[in-house]
Chains A and B, each alone.
Chain A
Amino acid sequence: MTSFLLGALWGVVGVVVIAGGAVIGVWWERKVAGRIQLRYGPQQIGPAGSLQMLADVPKLLFKEDVVPSGADKPLFKYAPLVVFAPVAAAIAVIPFAKGWAMFDTAVGVLFFLAVPSIEVVAILVAAWAQRNTYSALGGLRAASQMIAYEVPRALSVAPLVLLAGSLRPTDLVAAWRWWWVPLLALAFLIYLISSIAEMNRGPFDLPEAESELVAGYFADYSGMRWAIFMMAEYGAIITTSLFAAATFLGAGWPFDGALGVVALIVKAAALVTLVMWTKWTLPRIRQDQLLRFCWTVLVPAALVQLAIVGVVLPWL
């Protein structure tokens, strides 16, 4: 019973962290994009526009909840929640400090790779529910893309597991040494690229390519339901970055304790910024090119990385 209550508590904390992170993330992305594009970004509300989202959230909350008449109503209404839930769940296994995660499980890494992938089902459901050609195309694109990029993503984490000898994220943090960074640079890069593709961010944002598919799989969503999609997207960025910061970049290293958590968050924030920066720097790739890139470049490269780690492992 206590564990259930604790789990519920951590669940609430996780959702709050993700939602709050998404709010800050949206503001930060707008600032980053603004500066890249010779603009200021939000600047009117609060210092440097930082309270902009406080104004946006009520607006989204009070917006009319439009459901297209042709839509499959139950699916349409609940798909956003199913999109958001796995992302929020993924934060549970992230080792924020040495030996501590909300849900410290022995198969944490597997959990982190597998649970967010449920999102693809939700996206397909959302795309289907709208009865809209654009969203259908977007959903199909999303499905093919997310499933394809699961492979390099998993492969890129495998060297970590090899090195640490455990699937428990806290073990990964404990086993981390600084020379992992140069050794696993390629894996880190592959992880980053495939994660970006996984969460449908630019340059791999084909499912929602606004210039082709208007908004892809959430074309007909508006108001808070739409905001949940956005929150899921930003949540994915945050969990991915936190996971990468914790495992590839040594969590709180070189600090311990509370300072270590701060260091972890700073590293994660830097990664989040990098993800955003990538989106605003690069053009969007085409679907066939995207998949070709996955199978001909990323997967072989991940295998090469795995082989390298496998080769050097006996000498460590």
Chain B
Amino acid sequence: MAVRDERPKTPETVSELPGEKQGLIAGAMSIVKGFSITVKAAATRPSTVKYPKERVTISPRWRGPLALRGVLGRDEIPLLRGPSYAYNELIDDLYKKDRLPPCVGNCPANVDARGQAYLIADNRVVEAYELVRDRNILPGVLGRICHHPCESACKRNFYDEPIAIRPLHRFAFEEYRKIRHERISPFPRTQGKSVCIVGSGPSGLAAAYDLLKLGYRVVMYERERKPGGALNTGVPAYRLPREVLYEEIDDIVGLGLELNTGVEVGKDVPLAKLMREHDAVLLAVGLQQSRLLPIPGTDAEGVVGALEFLWSANFKHEAGVRGKRVLVIGGGNVAVDVARCALRVGASEVKLACLESESEMPCHPWEIAEALDEGVTALCSLGPEEVLTKHNQVVGMRMRSCLSVFDETGRFAPKFGEETTDVAADVIVFAIGQAPKIDQLVAGTELLVSGRGQLVVDGTLFTTSVDGVFACGEIVTGPGSAIGSIATGHEAATSIHRYLQGLPLDGDRVARPVPVYPKHAPADTRGIESSRRRAVMPMADPSERATDFRQVELGLTRQEAMAEAMRCLRCESEVCVGCTFCARTCPDYAIAVERVDEAGARCLTRYDLDLTKCCFCGLCAEQCPTKALHHTGQYELSFWHRDLMVFDKGEMLRPPIGTRATGRDGISPPGCPVPRKEEA
């Protein structure tokens, strides 16, 4: 670059100027040169501004005195509500405005957990349940089994501990349960069209709910005698009592769903017939088959798939492992479920072997921790090599040490070491994934199936190769979480709605934003008051609970739940909740916050900002979880009385266009830069 070449070179010593001369003449010359420089400077345009005419602009990040946008007890927070076909737009809009609460953003179905906590804290528990049910069709179920991505994104992680969003779902359901018959009435059928849903798992139910709400007739078919899909067959009963599931599905039936159980589509009713009878068909059949590994010995007696094992454990409470040593292969949640079930159906010893190291295990850490509590042994960094058999009967498994599971790019590419170990076992359960089994289902239709036995589905619109046939749930996404399936159900319902209304399927449809939230280190909870701590979920005693299928988590009491809901910071709502973190962060103790924490009458009673102490460091507004506390563009902070420098709640809530600092309430002095509109 030319500029770089012109850059002056640093001299050897700065003591001498280049071409410097001594003497009177040189001195006079330097003075003349000085005059030439000042003349030139006087001729150039001044770099200051003509004040009233060329107004000073203030940078958007200006740290002026603080103001509040809204306050607890005065302003409602916006509840995220909307028909499913417009919900993504709502979320996307909030996301673009940087006003999407992390719990909502991190949830695959964007359940309004913030609204739930708000309503529960306001003692409107049933409303809270119904708000959640809009996006999460089975709050009672998910309140027990969800892997709660909301809680891991919760901003409270940064301060102390996350809000117990999942137990609150459960609590809301327990409250709702008492009066649920009053609250259920069928949705009016406003559309003449009907939709058939195959499978009654979470995704199918979510789609059914959306479609019922939109006024369609919805007919559902379920293979098993009881509805619920994988929730019914796969989830162990100690985590999910079946009556909860059935009750919630009953509610949907009450909303107008025509549910046919014990009917296997493809066998009892051909799919082609359903496609003719209904305007649209949604396949939500899930994954039915456990994967096995292509290693020697898997055909031996004593090798079982996880789904089969769970099915028999759940329904028969007997899986043929009583008194036997069980080895579970896999490190996922299903593997942990299998291991814990195996203990409950009487296995003498349960081991869990996985490729990953302890820290990399794909299952949720709290699951493995609970399993270890109950007596499961985890063998990490071991890859299955061969099933050892004796007379076609399993006696153990040879495992090879695994050095690394993923390559540099993060793809699955395990590297094995030389060492092998033999693990003795009588039963080996493979919990390494599930696969779809749909050949019977699609027989007689034009649905395309890929070479690996998978249905060909568009991953964003959930359409299949046949017009009018849609798919959702794990059959599309592969093995995943219940809440993820529910999210696909909503998307599929949107597609079906648009299809039936004759709208283009993609068109102006907004894709769900996938925000990335910072990972927070576990907060240092030393020195934190107990009132700020998360409600502890009461648990059954590990040694007792491992023997039967009673629930492990016992649920929150009403008092605990209310207190927990009040802990919610209502992130990004721009309504101050009086969380006091600004006061705690302030290095000068310039802020004093007090609030009343009574259900139904929660309000902020005091918010004082002492500007005489404020050092304008901006830490308080930076960490404000609700963004209610923000800087204003004020800078002429002159007051005619010292007392006026203590801003009380009313002052903090005034529109920040001219504080009383200016001497004229609410009016900017002439020439005072007006804050930008979005700031105001």
Contact = CB atoms under 8 A, between A and B. Distances in A.
On whether A and B touch (CB less than 8 Å), the answer reads: yes
Given A43-B50, A297-B24, A281 B38 contact: yes
Interface residues of A, number: 15
B41 interface: yes
Contacts of B37: 281
A36 B38 contact: yes
A35 B31 contact: no
Interface of A: 32, 34-40, 43-44, 277, 280-282, 297
Contacts of A277: 35, 38
B38 A40 contact: no
* Chain B contact patch, size range: 10 to 19
Nearest to A41: B46
A40 B50 contact: yes
B42 A36 contact: yes
A277 B31 CA distance: 12
B47 interface: yes
Contacts of A36: 38, 41-42
B33 to A, nearest CB: 10
Contacts of A32: 42
B51 A38 contact: no
B34 A38 contact: no
B46 A280 contact: no
A282 B24 contact: no
B15 interface: no
B38 A38 contact: no
Contact of B41 (A37, A40, A282, A297): A37
Given A38-B46, A281-B31, 9 more contacts: A32-B42, A36-B42, A38-B41, A38-B47, A38-B48, A39-B46, A40-B50, A277-B38, A297-B24
Interface in B35-72: 35, 37-38, 41-42, 44, 46-48, 50-52
A282 B37 CA distance: 11
A282 B50 contact: no
Contacts of B51: 43-44
Best-surrounded residue of B35, B37, B44, B52 (most CB of chain A within 10 A): B35
Contacts of B38: 36, 277, 280-281
A35 B34 contact: no
B672 to A, nearest CB: 14
Nearest to A283: B34
A281 B48 contact: no
19 contacts: A34-B46, A35-B41, A35-B42, A35-B46, A36-B38, A36-B42, A38-B41, A39-B46, A39-B48, A43-B51, A44-B51, A44-B52, A277-B35, A280-B38, A281-B31, A281-B34, A281-B37, A282-B31, A297-B24
A272 B13 CA distance: 41
Contacts of B34: 281-282
Interface in B353-394: none
- Most chain B CB within a 10 A radius of its CB, from A34, A37, A297: A37
Top 3 nearest A-B pairs (CB, nearest first) are: A35-B42, A281-B38, A38-B47
Interface in B1-48: 24, 31, 34-35, 37-38, 41-42, 44, 46-48
A176 to B, nearest CB: 27
Nearest to B32: A281
Contacts of B52: 44
B74 to A, nearest CB: 42
Interface in B311-352: none
Interface string B480-513: 0000000000000000000000000000000000
Interface string B113-129: 00000000000000000
Given A36-B41, A44-B51, A281 B35 contact: yes
Contacts of A35: 41-42, 46
Name, among B37, B48, B51, the residue most crowded by chain A CB atoms within 10 Å (CB to CB). B48
A90 B376 CA distance: 109
A277 B37 CA distance: 11
A57 B38 CA distance: 30
A211 to B, nearest CB: 19
A281 B47 CA distance: 18
A280 B35 CA distance: 9
A37 B48 CA distance: 10
Contacts of B50: 40, 43
A145 B24 CA distance: 21
A44 B35 CA distance: 28
A281 B36 CA distance: 9
A44 B37 CA distance: 27
A258 B486 CA distance: 98
Nearest to A37: B41
A39 B50 CA distance: 9
Contacts of A281: 31, 34-35, 37-38
